[in-house]
């Protein structure tokens, strides 16, 4: 695929970095041979990995830094002290226009704090939000906010709805995304004051997406909507709850497999079907949460992922840059958000 | 098992009522032959069902009413108009001391509103909470609040923690329950102001349970704690999210089974293991949410359950009455809550 753009990488973030980072961009490079990679990290570790991959090496520039943000660093510490870290320099490259986006598998809190301070929010966006895709019975759904904010008001939820719809449209190719607000019931009178107010705004406005109304927790995996909108507290709990339920199910499946010779035999015969099933839930396929609403694309990979998972995060960042997701959010702000969110221009500045 | 007590039943609540109600108490009756059942509902439908079960009939009294609360009734309507409904009369029987508790598979909102108004909260409890058991990798966990309240402050969360621990102790037999507060991270600084404040109160106090600290969404099914405490909004979303994830998983399993002759053959051979797996997730085994904190036991069964599921809800109500759960909550209020919740006596009255 011929896509010409540049992506910055925190080459030192993640449990198996930098090996898994280099392995991941190598996979992405085969799919997007014209994309350039700016690697920030320890040159003495990166050079040998690239030397073994001459074709990839030709698409990379290495920017040496010995500093790293660790998993233990608090966001505030990382902001103050880690000005020469691989994570910070990769974000700076986006601010300076050297790259259209950045991917990191490092410390989530530090990445969010740094990206927000360095890149700033897009005009009209008061709060950035963390979004990801999840498997559903119908395919996939986008969910946000997953924890960029611990408290949200109704206007924040409206902004999340718009950004989520733009993400579903540009990156997942959903022409007219259906957006639902996560609530404790589907009737208009259900829920807390903030969710009810956000529902009223979206029903009264003429948003550039289909507002489906309220949805409940079981609608997430049912695939009732293309975009699930919620506050960062509820979204974080819901995402991790899905992950925990999936893990319980797969562990019980493994236990059932170990149960008896007969079970092992049966599962061995059924293996192709089980492999397809497992592929559908492969967490690596859903790796990469995007931090939406900033001047630039910021993708957070799971820290514990392998090169296949990291490649998926990189591919998703490339798609968002290529499809000009941030431009679309800005355009939608002018056509829609500016009408419904009071003082959004002032608040964004 | 020799347990002598009386349970009131809304015989008309639920999709398949009254048949499923009578079938359900018949199953429970075989296990608890000394329990008496007060049935509220349409006599002309109840009498023939009981006539076919003479042993059960001897343990039942039928109180005729033609009125029912429908699934469409709003809680406020039901409160005002349905004073002779099967649901209301069954709750009244608990208030009047004729029964120790009530089970209904009817309209959840109406049941909660009626029970709260008719039975009132226990001394020291400001807000009742809805609790249920969920399967985990380690066995089962209790989760509350599942939606009795849409907003909760830190003192409400502390009360939920105590009631959940008492439930785990008396009904599930956990000698020293481990209680966790659902949050977006495990560190003390994580979360919104209410969760942080509740964590501080529980860490500083000397509660009659083990306060584990903060937990995350994936800890629910992992079985990290015996009791998961959260506000009614987050708890409702998390519960339904688990249900939705379980449904997605089982539907994909069914699809994998239909995939090919080879898959069907393999799954047929593995059937005993799959049956055990399915039994572990059988929603009927987890049927019955209890409305904790009222003067009397109020159990809500799923509306769509069958007689096996309804029997489980009835058995769980019998256990709560037999183990004197409400007495224990009152005693714990005096020893613990009165110390940590300001004005709890005043607020409860």
Of B149, B183, B184, B247, which to mutate for an interface test with A (greatest number of A Cβ within 10 Å)? B184
B267 pLDDT exceeds 90? no
Task: With H, G, I as helix, E, B as strand and everything else as coil, classify residue A297.
Answer: strand
Contact B230 A237 (CB under 8 A): yes
Distances (CA, A) of B145 to A69, A102, B228: 38, 40, 9
Confidence class for position A1, pLDDT limits 50, 70, 90: low
Question: pTM, whole model, 2 decimals?
Answer: 0.91
ipTM: 0.89
B268, closest residue in chain A (CA to CA): A266
Contact A243 B217 (CB under 8 A): yes
**pLDDT tens per residue, range A267-317:** 888 888 888 777 777 777 788 899 999 999 999 999 989 999 999 999 999
B260, closest residue in chain A (CA to CA): A273
B348 pLDDT exceeds 60? no
Confidence class for position B343, pLDDT limits 50, 70, 90: low
Confidence (pLDDT) at A348: 43
Q: List the single range of A42-46, B132-136, B214-218 with lowest mean pLDDT.
A: B132-136
Confidence (pLDDT) at A187: 87
∠ at Cα B348 (B344, B349), nearest 5°? Answer: 125
User: Is residue A297 within 8 Å of A329, Cβ to Cβ?
Assistant: no
Confidence class for position A255, pLDDT limits 50, 70, 90: confident
Confidence (pLDDT) at B347: 46
Partner residue opposite A280 with nearest CB, options B245, B252, B262? B252
∠ at Cα A219 (A215, A221), nearest 5°? Answer: 150
Confidence (pLDDT) at A177: 97
Confidence (pLDDT) at B2: 58
DSSP B122: P
Using left for φ > 0, alpha for ψ between -120 and 50, and beta otherwise, residue B41 falls in: left
Could you tell me which of B146, B342, B122, B131 has the C-alpha nearest to residue B238?
B146
Instruction: Using DSSP bridges, classify how beta strands A297-300 and A289-292 pair: parallel, antiparallel or unpaired.
Output: antiparallel
Confidence (pLDDT) at B259: 79
Average pLDDT estimate for B136-143: 92
A218, closest residue in chain B (CA to CA): B244
Q: Which letter, b or e, does each residue of B14-52 get, where b requires 16 or more Cβ atoms within 10 Å of its Cβ?
A: bebbbebbbbbbbbbbeebeebbbbbbbbeeebeebbee
Of B138, B273, B274, B279, which to mutate for an interface test with A (greatest number of A Cβ within 10 Å)? B273
Distances (CA, A) of A337 to A202, A225, A226, A242, B114: 11, 21, 20, 31, 42
**pLDDT tens per residue, range A196-210:** 999 999 999 889 999
- Looking at CA atoms only, how far is residue B218 from chain A in angstroms? 4
Q: Which two tokens stand for residue A241?
A: 């709850």
Confidence class for position B110, pLDDT limits 50, 70, 90: very high
Q: Which two tokens stand for residue A266?
A: 């049966």
**pLDDT tens per residue, range B19-75:** 999 999 999 999 999 999 999 999 999 999 999 999 999 999 999 999 999 988 888
DSSP A99: -
């Amino acid at each position: 695929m011929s896509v010409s753009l540049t992506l910055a990488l925190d080459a030192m973030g993640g449990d198996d970095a930098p090996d898994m980072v280099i392995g991941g961009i190598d996979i992405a490079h085969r799919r997007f041979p014209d994309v350039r990679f700016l690697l920030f990290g320890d040159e003495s570790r990166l050079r040998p990995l690239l030397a073994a991959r001459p074709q990839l090496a030709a698409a990379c520039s290495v920017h040496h830094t010995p500093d790293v943000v660790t998993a233990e660093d608090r966001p505030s510490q990382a902001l103050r002290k880690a000005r020469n870290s691989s994570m910070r320099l990769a974000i700076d490259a986006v601010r300076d226009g050297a790259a259209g986006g950045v991917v990191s598998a490092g410390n989530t809190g530090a990445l969010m704090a740094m990206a927000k301070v360095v890149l700033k929010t897009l005009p009209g966006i008061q709060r950035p939000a963390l979004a990801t895709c999840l498997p559903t019975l119908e395919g996939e759904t986008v969910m946000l906010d997953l924890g960029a904010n611990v408290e949200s008001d109704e206007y924040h939820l409206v902004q999340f709805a718009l950004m989520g719809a733009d993400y579903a449209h540009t990156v997942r190719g959903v022409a007219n995304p259906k957006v639902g607000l996560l609530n404790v019931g589907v009737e208009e009178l259900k829920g807390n004051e903030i969710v009810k107010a956000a529902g009223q705004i979206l029903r009264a406005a003429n948003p550039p997406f289909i507002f489906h109304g309220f949805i409940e927790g079981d609608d997430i995996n049912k695939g009732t909507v293309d975009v699930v909108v919620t506050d960062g507290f509820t979204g974080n709990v819901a995402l991790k709850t899905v992950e925990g339920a999936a893990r319980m199910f797969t562990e019980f499946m493994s236990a059932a497999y170990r149960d008896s010779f007969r079970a092992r035999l049966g599962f061995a015969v059924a293996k192709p079907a089980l492999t397809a099933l497992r592929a559908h839930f492969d967490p690596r396929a859903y790796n990469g949460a995007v931090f939406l609403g900033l001047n630039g694309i910021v993708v957070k990979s799971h820290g514990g992922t392998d090169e296949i998972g990291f490649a998926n995060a990189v591919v998703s960042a490339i798609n968002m840059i290529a499809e000009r997701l941030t431009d679309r959010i800005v355009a939608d702000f002018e056509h829609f958000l500016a009408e419904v969110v009071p003082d959004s221009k002032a608040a964004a500045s």
